[in-house]
Structure 1
Amino acid sequence: MALKTETFPIATSDDVVRVRQVTRIWSTELKFSLVDQTKFVTATSELARNTLEHGGGGTMTAEIIENGTRRGLRLTFRDEGPGISDINLALRDGYTTGGGMGLGLSGSKRLVNEFDIKSEPGRGTVVTIVRWK
């Protein structure tokens, strides 16, 4: 169940900075440890940058969620870019299409409690991550 929801555009580098700040603020509200905040903000940064650079921009929806006695933060990144033809390959350490180290998707997956990616070539990509308190 979502207790708080807000959607943010990701169309410029300034938007990437803004969604990082939102993630930090909301994870602080949830009383995440500094280590958990840093992990989640790092994953947010990678996914927001991918949304902008590979997806041509999109949105991030942030939700404070509750599951029984647990509370957490769920972030959903959406773009309508070219999509990912081989998700398993894209999640492999070292795979890159942008000249980086190839740790964006795989590294983000390791930094969160839940990670889900859906993509269809020509239709875009949706990545959802969750960190529980």
Structure 2
Amino acid sequence: MTGDAGRPDEIVIRADEDVVRVRQLVRAHALRLKLSLVDQTKLVTATSELARNTLIYGGGGTARVEEVANGHRKGVRATFHDDGPGIPDVTVALADGWSSGTGLGLGLGGAKRLVDQFDLDTEVGRGTEITVVKWAR
């Protein structure tokens, strides 16, 4: 399930309603690939946190969601991009128990633990891009 011409689905994140749309899109992809209910919940929870972070800390941005394959494995990949201030201290931001107090309480570390792959690219003054993947089992 991708956008027109095989491109990933993309949602511009500018308001709370867009965070909801990201969750719905991620769940639709996870259902299509028959991820277990537990894995669906983990992926939707992680991407919800990342979408909210994109809105709150990045000042808005985009979420790109697509189905991916690696050999016989299939999964859902979600990439969140913003042109916000960037993350000044990634180690602190990923630390267990660290949260700004405005999200779901997971923080980036919690989101990272819920998915199978987590890649973070950030630079102060340039913004942040986080890509996560959850594989069907």
1:41 counterpart residue number: 44
1:99–1:11 distance in 2 versus 1, CA, 3 Å: closer
1:29–1:125 distance in 2 versus 1, CA, 3 Å: same
The answer as to 2:57 corresponding to 1:54 is yes
1:83 counterpart residue number: 86
Residue identity in the other structure for 1:107: G
Please, which moves more after superposition, 95-104 or 74-83? 95-104
Residue identity in the other structure for 2:9: E
1:99–1:17 distance in 2 versus 1, CA, 3 Å: closer
Q: Aligned partners of 1:78, 1:70: CA distance in 2, in Å?
A: 25
1:101–1:68 distance in 2 versus 1, CA, 3 Å: closer
1:57: Cα distance to partner?
0.3
Q: Aligned partners of 2:94, 2:121: CA distance in 1, in Å?
A: 12
SS of the aligned residue for 1:96 comes to: coil
1:98: Cα distance to partner?
4.8
Q: Aligned partners of 1:126, 1:71: CA distance in 2, in Å?
A: 22
Unaligned runs of 5+ in 2: none
Please, which moves more after superposition, 27-36 or 93-102? 93-102
Q: How many residue pairs are counted as aligned between the two chains? A: 132
1:27 corresponds to which of 20, 30, 41: 30
1:65–1:4 distance in 2 versus 1, CA, 3 Å: farther
Q: TM (normalized to structure 1)?
A: 0.93
2:76 corresponds to which of 55, 73, 77: 73
Percent of paired sites with the same residue? 56
* C-alpha RMSD over aligned residues: 1.7
1:96–1:51 distance in 2 versus 1, CA, 3 Å: same
1:104: Cα distance to partner?
1.7
Query: Deviating runs (4+, > 2 A) in structure 1?
Result: 94-103
- 8 Å CA contact 2:49, 2:103 repeated in 1: no
Q: TM (normalized to structure 2)?
A: 0.90
Unaligned runs of 5+ in 1: none
1:97: Cα distance to partner?
3.7
